[in-house]
Each structure stands twice: as C-alpha cells, then as structure tokens.
Structure 1
Amino acid sequence: MATAAFSATSPTQSRPAHRHRPLPSLTRLRAIRCSSVSKVPAVTAAATADPSPVFRSVAAFAPATVANLGPGFDFLGCAVGGGLGDTVTVSVDSAVAPGTLSIADVSGCAAAAKLSRNPLWNCAGIAGIAAMRMLGVRSVGLSLSLHKGLPLGSGLGSSAASAAAAALAVSELFGGRLSPDELVLAGLESEKKVSGYHADNVGPSILGGFVLIRSYDPFEIIRLEFPADRELYFVLVGPEFEAPTKKMREALPADIPMKDHVRNSSQAAALVAAVLQGNVRVLGSAMSADWIVEPRRAPLIPGMVSVKKAAIDSGAFGCTISGAGPTAVAVTDDEEKGKEIGSRMVEAFLRDGNLKASVTVAKLDRVGARVTGSSAVQKNNQALISIRI
C-alpha cells in the first residue's frame, strides 16, 4: 500500500484545540468567522503531545457544493443536500508505519478507478495528512478508504468533498481536536494541489450552508445563515460531460473591464444580502448576473446557453454554472416547480448540446461534514463497539 510520511514539527499556534461542533449564529448578521494567520496548516498548541486515538475507526460524510454562485468567483459557495457527497473512513492500522497514512481503497462512481491511491496525489489523502500534521500524530499509522458519491469534474466540489470528509474523519478519530477553521485549512491543502487555492467548495462542504471567503491572506471565512423558515431548492442538472477545473480556469480573462468589475461586485453584494434576508428571487437574479466568468465558460459546455434560458423560461429565479461546470444550477422556492424546471433543462442539454443529463432537486445542506459512524478502541480484551449515526 502507498504511504506518506511527514514531519510533525511545524510551528505551533496559541489557539487551543477543541471538538468540531455546530457553528453558533451571531444575531442580525447570523455569521461565523474563523481566521488563520497562515495559508499553511500548523500544529495546534495541544497537538504536540502526539494524541492517542479515541476511536479505532471513524467514517465521515461531506456534501456536494455549488461554488461561485455566479458573480462570487472563488469567494462564495454553498453546500447542497440530496445525499450528494463523498464518504471517507479512517482507521488505526498497525500495518501502516507510525505517523503515515495509507489509502486502502477507492470505490464509488465509475471514474473512481482513475483516482490515485498514492496519498500525496489523492484529495482525501492530502487533507488527511494535513490534519495528521496539525494534530502532531506520530505514534500510529492510519489507513483511509474513500467512497466517491460524486462524479469527477462535475462542478459540484468533488475534490473538496473528499478532502472535507478526510480532514473531519482524522480529527474525530483523535477526539475532534481540530476547530472548523483548521479543518477548512486542512482541506485547502488538498485543493491547492489539485485545483487551486480556493475555499468556495471546501469551506461550505465542512461548515455547511452559505459561506463567504473574505480573505485568503490572511485566511478568513464567514458563514452566512439563510433563514430557517424560508424555502430554497437547487435544481442541479449534470450532463454526461467532464469539465476539468484546470481547463475551465485557463479560459478566464487576464484583464477585466472596470464596468464588468462594478457589475459583478454589485451583484455579489446583492447575493449576500439576499442570502441573509432569505430572498430567493433576488438570490436567483444576482446568481444569473455574472459578466466575467460565465461568458467565458458557457461556450465550453455544449448547450449551456440554451439550458440557462430554458431554466429561466420555466420559472427559475436564476441559473448559472455550478463551479467550473458542467453542472448547471437553478434556484426556486418550490420543490415540484424545481422538478419541472429540471426536466426542461435536461431537454435543452439533449436538444442543443447533444448531451444526456440527469437532474437532482436538493435543499440547502445546513450541516456540512459530519460523522456517520465509528468503532471504539478495544480495551481490556473487550469487543469493539460499533456506532452508526
């Protein structure tokens, strides 16, 4: 099995480690902000003791995400439900050298077989190693199994979901010692290597809900709370077409006209306000108004222009490309209406793009990455206790 060794002697931070738990909400703004003084995850002050595992194994799930949301390129994103996401199981493994991580298995979608089992070139492996380094794990070796529920190159944060689930699983294996912002930073180590240093996928995949990345240096992320009493549905239409993030980033303009910058800035601000107010109509309208990225990427996805028109004509409040694509995302406040919109979008992909497509209507995932199961460490010859959540 492939393993990866690393040094656990990074400079420490003064922030105490604590268990990953639901984020609190601030009154009025309903946001949570978490910061780091560096782009590179460091070992926490409590991590230098080389923690002992609390569980024998932990399974964690991380949801799919919609990045950019139109005008919010690289700084806005949200998590979506519907059971879309990846699952990672991390186990203490005596066959793996202490202080290293091995990938034991990769399963799931048809393209999962293409993923490397070298943890230095696998999204889950990279994030898992980053979390181990943060914790200062040196005395035990870990094995990791990845189940891909998301297709590759779909525009739904496939790499970020793997990274988010891995980071959380490693943290929880040792008692949930990493804070939410540290988990995001661990996931960012993976994103940096695979698709670029952007947190608009891994941030919401870990924190849930909507997020705004205020700054990358120093890193600062704000969780935006969509009102619990408002309905919001995402119509996700994924064609049988792969749009590699690297290729889609290469299509972006090097220079941006001032008028387009002003347009996008105003729409991004309107989108944030709409999220906090629970105004789905304004949210959709702002999401549809990207003057910089979407015009360059849409022509690279067969039928995308017609799909967006079909969504709007069918009653969607807005439609754009999810992340780098090719998935198209529309929003509405009614589930049945969402199914109707999705059918029209699927038809448009086939008619004008010659692409078969599938549709999922999903709510906002407000939870983010979570533990789905664990096995307790065996003590005094007692049987292992399995827990499913």
Structure 2
Amino acid sequence: MTICFQSPIKPITIPQLTALSNPKLRFRCNLSLPSRYPLTSTEPEPVYASVKAFAPATIANLGPGFDFLGCAVDGLGDFVSLSLDPHVHPGEISISEISGDNANKLSKNPLWNCAGIAAIEVMKMLGIRSVGLSLSLEKGLPLGSGLGSSAASAAAAAVAVNEIFGGKLGVEELVMAGLKSEEKVSGYHADNVAPSIMGGFVLIRNYEPLEMIRLSFPEEKELFFVLVSPEFEAPTKKMRAALPTEIGMPHHVWNSSQAGALVAGVLQGDLMGLGKALSSDKIVEPTRAPLIPGMEGVKKAAIEAGAFGCTISGAGPTAVAVIDDEERGVEIGEQMVKAFLKEGNLKAVANVRRLDRAGARLVGSISR
C-alpha cells in the first residue's frame, strides 16, 4: 500500500488542467449531457482506495461581471475525502461526515448536499455501477459568505470522484457536474464553480451550450485580494431576489464598458484599471450594498486606505479589495474591519490572499 499526501495549498494541477496553458482556449460542453450518460464506453476501474481533494474559494461577479466572471482564491476552500465502501450500495454514494464551519446546517443526504449532488453527477458521467463510495466533507468556508462555499464543495467532490477512477473526465464535464449542484443550491450560474475547478479568472461566455474562457493574468504580476468577512449571513437566493428586473439603457452601456475594462485589466495585468472597473458597477452592487450593514462605508475605507478597487464578493457579505502588495493589503484589511464595526456594527475578519492559478486538485491518495 502506497500513501501519498501533499500540501493542500501548493498548486498541484490535475491532469485535466494541462490544457489551460493556452490563454485563448475556450471550453465547450453541451447542456444535454444527462441524455448522454455514461460518457465513457466502459465503466472505469478504481485507481485508488481513497483520495482527498481540495477546491479553492472563489470571488464571483467582480463588480460589473455579474454572473459571468469569477476567479479562484489561494489558501481558502473545502476538502472532500472519498473512499471505496463495500457497505454502500453499488453505484451510490453516502456522506459519512461533515465537519468545519456550520457543519450542522448541512444535510448528509447526497441529493440535498452540494458535494453529494456533484459527486452523483460525475458517477453518472462515468457510468459507475459496480462500486459504492463514501464521502466526507470538510468545510473551510462559511455558508452565505460570498466566497463560493457551495461551489467549492461541489468542485472538490467532482474532482475526487473523477480522480479515484483515474481522471477520465475533463474540466468541461467537471464544471457541468458542479453546475448541476449550483442549480439546486444557489442558482444556475457557473461563475463560482468554473474558477474553483479551473483556477485563475474564468469568463462564462454562454450557458446553452456552456462556453468558458480562461483569462490569463500575467505570471510576473502580483495580485492580492483583501477579503473582509463580517459576522453576517447573506444567502445567495435572498440577495438575488433583491436584483432589479429591468435596467435602463444608460446603465446597460455603462456596465458593459466597465466589464470590458475589467477583462482588459485582467489580461494586461493592469491592477489599477482592474480595480477601477470592479468598483464601478451601477446595477447589482447598488441594490445589494444596502442589505449588508456598513458595506458602503467599508468600500470607502478600502479606497481611502490605498486599495485599487473594492466591491462585494459574490452575493456578499464579504467585501473584496485588490492591491499589489501583501503588507499594504493587511493595512487595508484593518481599515475595512474597523469600518464594518463603525458603520455596520459588525465584527469582521480580514484575509489577504493571492490568486489561485491551479484550481481544484488532488492533495492525497491511498493506492488499492
């Protein structure tokens, strides 16, 4: 028996991610996947007795990039451990344990758990019928944080199932499995689960069929996210319900131009341009910020402290600012924490993190 464990934070690109070296590469998959199960001609044999996968937190929207742009964050995320289990009915999966933040709020029924839903989808894609699997989920992300908590669980589970059977599926299918999970848990959007699986910045170009474009942020550039999370839960469904049903042409034109500037800032490594664009949303942020106590004051404090830009991470309540220096990021985070307490009467915690370029990956395995 061979045991191999690696750092959960160290970027370890799974085999399916090697194609991502081409920044112009687009990924396509058809939403009619359920009618094509299984995707493999024969049921694959398990390669490992057990595996452990990690999937990073994500920042979605990034201001004007609502529902089509997101990125992965290094050092924060969820873990999924998966084992062959003779006590589980062949072709099925059982959730044996959930630990970490708000574990008691999550169902162990795989049909109602984001990790379970994604795992089941990958099993269907692979045509797994002869073995049962046992899954344990370790939550490193709080629920309703605006950091892609459900997507991280789904991404880690999808990668774990794929890897235990030899990594037969590519990123397209893994994102589809995660998207199925997101649809049931927080809404049909891939701007969290795609970057959690693929790493880096990912633009969702289309949903039918799903088209994803990985945006390559220059390797030589430094990018730090200042993430400040208050003790306040902002459920995605509630925050989506607050969105306007109609927008005027001037706001449409403005947000379109800012979204273009945001993408240009990513590709050019222009952090000042990127920050200015992500701070300029006139459609989504103005409707959500008032629902998060102190958010407007927090954004102002971040900019005054030297951040290039600041906005709501995902649906909130986490605020995210961007900067090119870690020490300055710590100082900015301190001011944002003070602003949450002063303006919103909320205690908050700050983290300064780099961009995660690798995405979900295998971090441990035990051979059969």
Shorter-chain TM-score tier: over 0.9
Percent pairwise identity: 67
Given that 1:66 and 1:77 are in contact with CA atoms closer than 8 Å, whether structure 2 keeps it comes out as yes
Matched, 1:365 2:356: yes
**Aligned residue type for 2:81:** T
1:77 to 39, 49, 70: 70
1:319 deviation in Å? 0.2
Task: Give the structure 1 partner of residue 11 of structure 2.
Answer: none
Range moving further from structure 2, 46-55 or 364-373: 46-55
CA distance in 2, matches of 1:362, 1:112: 24
Q: Which residue of 2 aligns with 1:50?
A: 43
1:99 aligns with 2:95: no
The alignment status of 1:137 with 2:109, answered yes or no, reads no
Counterpart AA for 1:226: F
Counterpart among 104, 112, 120 of residue 113 in structure 1? 104
Q: Structure 1 residue 175 and structure 2 residue 166: aligned?
A: yes
Equivalent residue number for residue 180 of structure 2: 189
Distance (Å, rounded) in 2 between the aligned partners of 1:57 and 1:318: 43
Q: Could you tell me how far apart the structure 2 residues matched to 1:214 and 1:353 are?
A: 36
Question: CA offset at residue 50 of structure 1?
Answer: 1.5
Q: Within 2, Cα distance between the matches of 1:92 and 1:45? A: 20
**Separation in 2 of the partners of 1:204 and 1:257?**
30
Q: Deviations over 1:302-322 (max 9, x none)?
A: 000000000001110000000
Aligned equivalents of 2:218, 2:35: Cα separation in 1: 35
Secondary structure of 1:22 counterpart: helix
Q: Are 1:32 and 2:22 counterparts?
A: no
Contact 2:25 2:213 in 1 (8 A): yes
Alignment match, 2:302: 311
Which amino acid is the alignment partner of residue 246 of structure 1?
K
Q: Distance in 2 between matches of 1:216 and 1:119?
A: 25
SS of 1:75's partner is strand
Do 1:43 and 1:135's aligned partners in 2 also have CA atoms closer than 8 Å?
A: no
Q: Give 3-state SS (helix, strand or coil) of 1:77's partner.
A: strand
The residue that corresponds to 2:220 in the other structure is 229
- Residue identity opposite 2:166 in structure 1: G
> Which residue number in structure 2 is paired with residue 272 of structure 1?
263
Q: Which amino acid aligns with 2:69?
A: L
Cα distance in structure 2, aligned partners of 1:206 and 1:247? 25
Q: Deviations over 1:335-388 (max 9, x none)?
A: 1110110000000000010000000000000000010101111xxxxxxxxxxx
CA deviation vs aligned residue, 1:123-175 (integer Å, no higher than 9, x gap): 00000000000000000001100000000000000000000000000000000
- Is 1:61–1:372's contact at 8 Å kept on the other side of the alignment? yes
SS of equivalent to 2:228: strand
State whether structure 2 residue 245 is matched by structure 1 residue 254: yes
Change in CA separation of 1:39 and 1:61 when aligned onto 2, cut-off 3 Å: farther
Cα deviation for residue 40 of structure 1 reads: 4.2
TM-score by length of 2: 0.94
Alpha carbons of 1:336 and 1:361: their partners in 2 closer, same or farther (altered >3 Å)? same
CA distance in 1, matches of 2:54, 2:15: 17
SS in 2 for 1:74: strand
**Aligned match for 1:22, one of 18, 21, 26:** 18
DSSP 3-state at the match of 2:187: coil
1:62 aligned residue: 55
Check conservation: 1:349, 1:355, Cα contact below 8 A. yes
Residue 217 of structure 1, aligned match among 198, 204, 208:
208
**Letter matched to residue 67 of structure 2:** D
1:244 is matched with: 235
1:41/1:186 contact within 8 Å kept? no
Aligned partners of 2:38 and 2:126 also within 8 Å: no
**Corresponding residue pairs, total:** 355
Structure with more contact order per residue of length (Cα contacts < 8 Å, sep ≥ 6): 2
Change (3 A) 1:237 1:56: same
Q: Which letter does structure 1 place at the counterpart of 2:107?
A: S
Question: Judging changes above 3 Å, is the alpha-carbon distance between structure 1 residues 44 and 227 closer, same or farther for their aligned structure 2 residues?
Answer: farther
What amino acid does structure 1 have at the position aligned with 2:254?
R
Establish whether residue 125 from structure 1 lines up as the match of residue 125 from structure 2.
no
Q: CA deviation at 1:45?
A: 6.8
Alpha-carbon distance in 1 for matches of 2:334, 2:24: 35
State the partner residue of 2:82.
Answer: 90
CA distance, structure 2, for counterparts of residue 223 and residue 238 of structure 1: 27
8 Å CA contact 1:60, 1:165 repeated in 2: yes
Residue 5 (structure 1) aligns with = none
Deviation at 1:39, TM superposition (A): 5.6
**Aligned partner of residue 234 in structure 2, secondary structure:** coil
**Matching residue's letter, 2:279:** S
* Change beyond 3 A, Cα 1:345–1:41: farther
Letter in 2 for 1:24: L
CA positional deviation for 1:20: 2.2
Query: Structure 2: any 5+ residue segments left out of the alignment?
Result: 1-13
Return the offset for 1:220.
Answer: 0.3
Change (3 A) 1:64 1:39: farther
Q: Is the 8 A contact 1:126 1:190 kept in 2?
A: yes
The residue matched to 1:140 in structure 2 has which SS? coil
Conserved? CA contact 2:337–2:347, under 8 Å: yes
* CA distance in 2: counterparts of 1:135 and 1:202, whole angstroms: 20
Task: Give the superposition deviation at 1:41.
Answer: 4.8
CA distance in 1, matches of 2:27, 2:302: 36
Structure 1 residue runs of 4 or more that deviate by more than 3 Å after TM superposition: 39-46
